[in-house]
């Protein structure tokens, strides 16, 4: 399996943190030197390890924001 190259361009925010130090974060990430996308996933404290997550374009993030704005929680 080839290595995945990533660069966290901007940390937008942290949604939650576990006792183990892992945090669910929304970041702007460039994967394999591609155009940065919005990324939501769990990261270790030093960002050397990551869990499964979801990557969204700006248009997809905008659509998700609209959906969440229309939810009644």
Query: Which helix (H) or strand (E) covers residue 60, if one does?
Result: helix 58-69
Residue 36 lies in a domain: yes
The partner residues of 16 in beta bridges, in order of sequence, read 24
- What residues make up the domain containing 12? 6-69
Residue 1 lies in a domain: no
Structural domain total, the chain? 1
Residue-wise pLDDT tens for the chain (73 aa)?
568 899 999 999 999 999 999 999 999 999 999 999 999 999 999 999 999 999 999 999 999 999 999 999 8
pTM of the model: 0.89
Residue 58 lies in a domain: yes
Q: What is the CATH number of the domain that holds 34?
A: 2.30.31.70
- 32 in the Ramachandran plot: left (φ > 0), alpha (ψ -120 to 50) or beta? left
């Amino acid at each position: 399996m080839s290595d995945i190259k990533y660069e966290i361009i901007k940390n937008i925010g942290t949604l939650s943190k576990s006792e183990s130090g892992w945090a669910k974060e929304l970041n702007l990430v460039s994967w394999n030197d591609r155009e940065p996308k919005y990324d939501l996933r769990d990261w270790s404290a030093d960002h050397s390890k990551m869990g499964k997550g979801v990557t969204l374009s700006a248009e997809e993030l905008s659509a998700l924001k609209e959906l969440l704005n229309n939810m009644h929680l």
